[in-house]
Amino acid sequence: MTLLHYFLNHFESDLQKLLAFGSHPSSFYCETRPELKGCVFFGGRQWAHYEKEIAHVPEKNRALFCVSLLSIVAADKNNHAHLTPQQETWRRAFAGYPKFGWIGFGPHFEDIKFLCSIPEEEGVNFDALEDDELDEFVLYHRKQGSKFLGPHVEYAFLKMVEDPEFNGTHPMIGRLRNSIIRVFNFNGLQ
pLDDT digits (tens, 9 = 90+) for 32-79: 777 777 788 899 999 999 999 999 999 999 999 999 999 999 988 888
Whole-angstrom distance, CA of residue 161 vs CA of residue 118: 22
pLDDT interval class at 88 (50, 70, 90): low
pLDDT interval class at 94 (50, 70, 90): low
Q: Across residues 178-183, what is the average pLDDT?
A: 95
Q: Output the pLDDT for position 181.
A: 95
> Residues in the chain, how many?
190
Provide the 8-state DSSP code for 23.
B
Provide the 8-state DSSP code for 169.
S
Q: Across residues 81-89, what is the average pLDDT?
A: 70
Better-predicted residue by pLDDT, 173 or 104: 173
**DSSP sequence for 127-166:** TTS-HHHHHHHHHHHHHHHHHHHGGGHHHHHHHHHHSGGG
pLDDT digits (tens, 9 = 90+) for 98-151: 889 988 877 888 999 999 999 999 999 999 999 999 999 999 999 998 888 888
Better-predicted residue by pLDDT, 189 or 5: 5
Q: Output the pLDDT for position 91.
A: 61
